[in-house]
Amino acid sequence: MLYEWLHVVDLTTRSRFQEHSAETFSAVLDLSEQLAVRKFAPHNREGDLREPVVGSEGRVELIPAVREAIDAYIAAGLQAASFDHAYGGMRLPVTVQKASSLWFTAANASTTGYLFLASAAANLLVAHADADMVDRYARPMIEGRFFGTMCLSEPEAGSSLADITTRAKLQDDGTYRVRGTKMWISAGDHELGENIIHLVLARTGGTGSGIKGISLFAVPKYLVESDGSIGERNDVVLLGLNHKMGNRGTTNTVLGFGDGTHRPRGEAGAVGYLIGAEGNGLACMFHMMNEARIAVGSGAVSLGYTGYLKSLAYAKTRLQGRRAGEQNPSSPRVPIIEHADVRRMLLAQKSYVEGSLALILYCARLVDEQASAPDEAERDRARMLLDVLTPIAKSFPAQWCLAANDLAIQVHGGYGYTRDFDVEQHYRDNRLNQIHEGTHGVQGLDLLGRKVRVNGGRAFRMLIDSMRQTALSARGRDGEPAVLAELLERRIDRLVVTTETLSRSADREAAMANSSVYLEAMGHVVIAWLWLEQVVVAAGKVDDFYNGKRAAARYFFHYELPRTDHQFDLLCRCDRTTLDLDPEWL
């Protein structure tokens, strides 16, 4: 995917990445594999069984292996890998960094959560904070000394950020005092580093209500002095840990800001520092949120993929039953992979996880295009494509790689439902990805309500043009690529008509009622497009690897893509089944 399809080595001709080569990229990936296998995978089960607890001194206690793995990752320079030289980074292309990260989330999604939240917070600060704040907070995160969080949700507000009540009051010295409660804060408290920098959404007195009244603040667990030294404890307290179905090794917290438990600089209230302008908090936070959404999709891919690989290995060795048509009961048993329905489940998994992996890596390549393409029009195109694909990059892997985990359990049979095999944990860990960083409902509303309409639908048209170009290229080849291209073009046409129908509808409520269905249908068309891209690259290459690619693409086109036909029918008639439902009927 990296070398034959996305051509990442071509990036080394650009000034930003000119010090790199195929050799440095492969070295990073080899190192990632070794660290993930040696330091992260061994405690994945232990972290699930021994989830974080609050100790007698009120501190969060994690198993020691978490700290050991994180220290090894930081020591290897991977935390700073994609950052500029000015921050101690190696300017690694995001495409390669994302591929590296997949090793770690596959090995241990919980432990990697602490690292990746910190790097995302540092990215936000580098993009939006002033120089002093970058030096004081972002640099230590890039170095691995500080960690970070994103504090959006509240107990009553959930995903409805317009309803948050946390407030920040300006002080004479230019700082703010933040007061409120935040809920579902991953990595919200621990002792893995010297400090935790909370990025907190709160209302200020000088702005209005709704989302326009929200500002963004850096609120450190410990104040940081001008010389970079750690100061007194800020008024931020751990109110409790949430006990989760999966992904248990990452602390998930309820945090209190400004309740007076601590009195920094002699008074109650958590000291916060404004990032950007008042009232512009969501615009800044979306920098981290969009990165996190793609990271959610990436995490879902890695969990789905590792579950697939484990069920594939099991199916090759588990003996049960005999080949279809074999009448002799004394004939040898066969590995269950010999049974057609088991192969169906394995092929379905492969089509979901490798299609989703293509989407994640394609989005990462767009980030690199934004940063390094020599032409402004190319950079603008990459930005718009990434914008329209982000809801799909979050949601399709979260839904269908979880379906892969479900099938991995089924391949294992009764054993898959026990703790004797890893696949049940992978399912539980992956189940979170449909929820956090915006549920399917939130992503569907974003995609249909904004992303495909913004700038007169320009980004959507660019995506359609890209898909049509791939289909045109495939049509120029003999055999199966041309057949698959025709199947894709038929659904691209339907996607265009459906989008136009919904955009023109006078009944906007009815048009938006099934936005999650639209998200799923468009996601299937996008994944089919990326499968066709891989088929085109694999043309003329014959071995087990390329034959497997073609088989998975064939499965997706014949078994999955036809789902969209009914979905487009339902969407075009603006079906009102859910709108017309009286809640009392449920």
- The count of C-alpha atoms lying within 13 angstroms of the C-alpha of 280, restricted to the half-sphere facing its C-beta, is 9
Helices (H) and strands (E) in the chain, counts: 18, 12
Closest among 380, 393, 369 to 446, alpha carbons compared: 393
In one-letter notation, the amino acid at residue 559 is: Y
Residue from 291, 437, 520, 533 carrying the catalytic annotation: 437
Active site residue 191: no
What value does the CA radius of gyration of the chain take, rounded to a whole number of Å? 25
Positive or negative torsion for Cα 445, 112, 74, 242: positive
- Burial level of 90, CB count in 10 A (0-12/13-18/19+)? middle
φ, ψ dihedrals at 557, nearest 5°: -70, -35
How far is the CA of 330 from the CAs of 207, 327, 333, 334, in angstroms? 80, 9, 9, 12
| Residue 191 per-residue DSSP state | S
Distance (Å, whole) CA 499 – CA 567: 12
Q: Are 278 and 215 in contact (CB under 8 A)?
A: yes
Residue ranges of E strands in 242-381: 252-257, 270-275
In one-letter notation, the amino acid at residue 308 is: Y
DSSP 372-408: H-SSHHHHHHHHHHHHHHHHHHHHHHHHHHHHHHHHH
Per DSSP bridges, beta strands 146-151 and 195-204 are parallel
Q: Are 5 and 537 in contact (CB under 8 A)?
A: yes
Q: What is the 3-state secondary structure (H, E, C) of 427-482?
A: HHHHHHHHCCCCCHHHHHHHHHHHHCCHHHHHHHHHHHHHHHHHHHHHHCCCCHHH
- What are the catalytic residues? 437
